[in-house]
């Protein structure tokens, strides 16, 4: 017995009345029309540590006491993590600061966004700023960064939306899973 085939694209009618197939964007971060009216919610930022047991995530919606001593034990370095920012009125910039470890690799979605990396050797700080470039009349509601850090680090993220509201993700320390620098040892 052959299983029924699932459609891979939804057919819609264009302005000439003919049918055409539409597909969802491949990267999941497509621009959308700019919303009307004032926005009063800041962006949401989520950091997920993929190289840590259980892949813990840290979020701007976490209660205030979660920010105290936020730490993720990492199996080995370089550590892989994701940073996501979302806002209905559009993300204007997303900035990640890591100290003292440096950013080894960075991948940004959507690919049309630009990323600028500044390293300050004196303070051993790396600052990555990502700016999306959606088409005119639209906003970029989501940004996704996949990155690796080459050494134990503290990371902080700040996102600003198209209306000027900002959110700051508290400092999260990425430390080796064992030894004197492990999470919980002071």
pLDDT tens-digit series, residues 19-52: 444 344 444 566 666 665 556 889 999 999 999 9
Q: What pLDDT is recorded for position 38?
A: 58
- Work out whether strand 71-74 and strand 166-176 pair parallel, antiparallel, or are unpaired: parallel
Q: What is the residue-averaged pLDDT of the chain? A: 82
Grouping H, G, I as helix, E, B as strand and the rest as coil, residue 113 is: coil
Question: How far apart are the C-alpha atoms of 173 and 155, rounded to whole Å?
Answer: 6
Partnered with residue 149 across adjacent β-strands are: 79, 103
Domain 42-176, CATH: 2.60.40
Grouping H, G, I as helix, E, B as strand and the rest as coil, residue 64 is: helix
Q: What pLDDT is recorded for position 24?
A: 41
> What are the structural domain ranges in the chain?
42-176
Per-residue pLDDT of the chain (186 residues; tens, 9 = 90+): 444 444 444 444 444 444 444 344 444 566 666 665 556 889 999 999 999 999 999 999 988 777 788 999 999 999 999 999 999 889 999 999 999 878 889 999 998 899 999 988 888 899 999 999 988 888 899 999 999 999 999 999 999 998 899 999 999 999 998 776 678 644
In the chain, % of residues over pLDDT 70: 76
């Amino acid at each position: 017995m052959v299983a029924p085939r699932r459609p891979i694209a939804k057919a819609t009618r264009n302005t000439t009345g003919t049918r055409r197939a539409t597909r969802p964007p491949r990267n999941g971060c497509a621009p959308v029309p700019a919303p009307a009216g004032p926005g009063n919610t800041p962006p949401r930022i989520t950091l997920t540590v993929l190289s840590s047991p259980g892949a813990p995530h840290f979020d701007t919606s976490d209660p205030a006491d979660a920010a105290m001593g936020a730490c993720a034990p990492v199996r080995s370095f370089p550590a892989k993590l994701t940073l996501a920012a979302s806002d209905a009125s559009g993300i204007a910039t997303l900035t990640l600061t890591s100290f003292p470890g440096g950013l080894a690799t960075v991948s940004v979605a959507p690919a049309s966004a630009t990323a600028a990396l500044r390293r300050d050797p004196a303070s051993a700080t790396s600052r990555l700023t990502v700016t999306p470039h959606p088409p005119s009349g639209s906003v970029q509601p989501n940004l996704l960064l996949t990155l690796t850090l080459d050494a134990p680090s503290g990371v902080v993220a700040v996102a600003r939306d198209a209306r000027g509201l900002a959110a700051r993700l508290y400092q999260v320390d990425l430390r080796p899973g064992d030894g004197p620098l492990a999470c919980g040892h002071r």
